[in-house]
Structure 1
Amino acid sequence: MQTQRNRRGYIQHFINCKHLWLNELKKLAHDLKNPYLLKENVPEYPRPEFHVSHLKHDTERGALCWIRTDGGFKDPHRGFRDPHKWSLVWWSLAVGPEEIKAAETRLLEKTYPNQTKEQAVKQQSFLWRFATSPAFSEKSRYGSYRFTFPLQDVLSAYSQQFCFGAPPIMRVFRTCLFKKKVQYSVLVHSPANRELFSEFPLLPGNDPNAVCAYRDGRFIWRSEAMCETHRY
């Protein structure tokens, strides 16, 4: 893995073109000197599959004013603060209560395929107790303001403004490892930049072994570490 300081000044270890599962990251833990990945006393916890149809963009007041003035989103630094000089606008998955409930239903159906309707009705909700990492928080992580849009609205606007109406291309961008966070990034770009980003593999649609995928208008995220702590 490579090491760099990101635009916000934080040190991150990253590997391009791959989304690594936790067991793959654990093999690198000694070299990265990350004690959290080396813990062996973590109890069993659910590994659900989230189907997400909304994106969120968190920001601070200054950027909020610029977004309002410009009437849209862009990289104000035009890539100069990015180590690779790419002008990127960052969005995160907006995983809310409905997505958590739907993921819980899929998890139960997979784990107990012979469960009756009566048993399903009596089943108490549990997955929200594990969804304690900042990725599920209603609070903004990068400022006091948040924009939330349907994924399809964002992709449609991007298609019209940058792709001449063509569908944008999605690729496996990178896995970033921070001290207590794993970040999986998906690159969305115009077909005009196909050659520029050709080294990054296309994002899968139906691969059950992929950490992240895109299918039927939704991002599929197979979360392995959704807990801030494991007290439950």
Structure 2
Amino acid sequence: MMRQNARECFGTHFEGQHLSLSDLKEKPNIQNHDYLYKNNIPAYPESVEFHVQKVSHVTGEQGLEGIFLNSGFRQPSEMVASDQHHFLWWALSVTPDDRSSADERFLASLFPHRSAAQLRNQPPVLEHFTTSKAFQKKSSYGNFCFTFSLKELLWHYGKQFCYDDQSPVMHVYETVLYPKEIQYTVVVHPHYVKIYDRCPRLPKYGDGVCGYNGGAMWWRCQSPSEAYENKLEVNIFARSVSVSPNHREEYYVWDHVCVAFHMEPGWVLHVDRNKLLKNVNACEISQPCLLRAPETPLSLNEAEHVLANLKASMGWGLECGGWR
């Protein structure tokens, strides 16, 4: 189903499913998605498994002020007034350590029995390919990035919105295909909210796109770049992998995972202000800029000054690592 999201971007939605790249290619009559069907993409690491413990929420200057005013996260008033589902959106935040571990898993999947010398002599591979927005510090959604462990957020959400100390439920919500992007959405909600029961539960294990287990979201990334300027070369005899420049840059779809927390009108996911201050950083805006009016993009220097002034106004002593 083709529809427009809250930021006026059109995408094709597949509800209750996380469809792989190959699954999407087999779907008939998907229009305006030419990148999906390109067949000249150079070889790259496919279906790389990341184990990601952290998620991030990015907002603009007014959103930043609202989060500290409310001591937590809530839906913007204009979104609450709409008839859409009320979500608090978070993206997976892939760390350098996450990428290193994924590199090791990818190489082990190709060559399970490498010698110690082969292990030492193999340079990292993924750093040449993980260039999409899923791996960048920049964001299209604002200049201020809050980063938390997903496990901690689920704990706060369960304590505040779930009855009888129940843990929240996680479901496979949908796949959204944009012209250059595949978004996999996981929805988090209390047990008593039944509107997502048509969606399958998010798996702990399996061969799907993503799941949650042991405090981490595992994600099998199928296309880690928006534009492939390198190609992967596998030497099965030397049991090694190398990277070489491609003759031209090839644009393609890229994929990522979002976690959407169900929020009723008036709900605020409260987090201690001390933690909010510790876990927020300024970041650059990437294109396309998807800030909602009246928010405006700032330079990184401007955003850092805004954040420094906010911390100073709240009596945050950086030399003490906390409140003065």
| Counterparts of 1:7 and 1:102, CA distance in 2 | 35
Q: Secondary structure at the match of 1:155?
A: helix
Within 5 Å, give how 1:53-202 maps onto structure 2: 53-77=53-77, 79-81=80-82, 85-164=84-163, 165-193=165-193, 195-202=194-201
Alpha-carbon distance, 1:49 to partner: 0.2
Q: Is the 8 A contact 1:29 1:35 kept in 2?
A: no
* 1:35 pairs with 2:34: yes
Alpha-carbon distance, 1:227 to partner: 1.0
Name 1:217's counterpart in structure 2. Answer: 215
| Counterparts of 1:170 and 1:136, CA distance in 2 | 23
Q: Secondary structure at the match of 2:38?
A: coil
Alpha-carbon RMSD: 1.3
| Counterparts of 1:34 and 1:110, CA distance in 2 | 31
Structure 2 residue identity aligned to 1:221: W
Structure 2 residue identity aligned to 1:81: S
Structure 2 residue identity aligned to 1:179: P
* 1:52 pairs with 2:52: yes
Q: Deviations over 1:180-206 (max 9, x none)?
A: 11000001000111x221101100111
Structure 2 residue identity aligned to 1:211: V
| Counterparts of 2:143 and 2:191, CA distance in 1 | 34
Q: Is the 8 A contact 2:174 2:185 kept in 1?
A: yes
| Counterparts of 2:197 and 2:103, CA distance in 1 | 36
| Counterparts of 2:118 and 2:130, CA distance in 1 | 23
| Counterparts of 1:28 and 1:152, CA distance in 2 | 35
Alpha-carbon distance, 1:79 to partner: 4.1
| Counterparts of 2:177 and 2:82, CA distance in 1 | 19
Name 1:230's counterpart in structure 2. Answer: 228
Structure 1 residue identity aligned to 2:215: G
Structure 2 residue identity aligned to 1:10: C
Runs of 4+ in structure 1 deviating by more than 4 angstroms, as ranges, are none
Q: Deviations over 1:92-134 (max 9, x none)?
A: 0001211111000011111111101221122101111100001
Alpha-carbon distance, 1:76 to partner: 2.2
Percentage identity across aligned positions? 34
Q: Secondary structure at the match of 2:171?
A: strand
Q: Which runs of 5+ in 2 are unaligned?
A: 231-324
- How many matched pairs? 227
Bigger mean CA deviation after superposition, 36-45 or 72-81: 72-81
| Counterparts of 1:140 and 1:162, CA distance in 2 | 29
Q: Deviations over 1:14-44 (max 9, x none)?
A: 1100000111111237532311011111122
Q: Is the 8 A contact 2:32 2:179 kept in 1?
A: no
Name 2:289's counterpart in structure 1. Answer: none
| Counterparts of 1:161 and 1:72, CA distance in 2 | 12
| Counterparts of 1:57 and 1:162, CA distance in 2 | 19
Structure 2 residue identity aligned to 1:139: K
| Counterparts of 2:81 and 2:12, CA distance in 1 | 20
Structure 2 residue identity aligned to 1:109: A
| Counterparts of 1:80 and 1:202, CA distance in 2 | 29
Name 1:25's counterpart in structure 2. Answer: 24
Structure 1 residue identity aligned to 2:10: I
Q: What TM-score comes out, normalization by structure 1 length?
A: 0.94
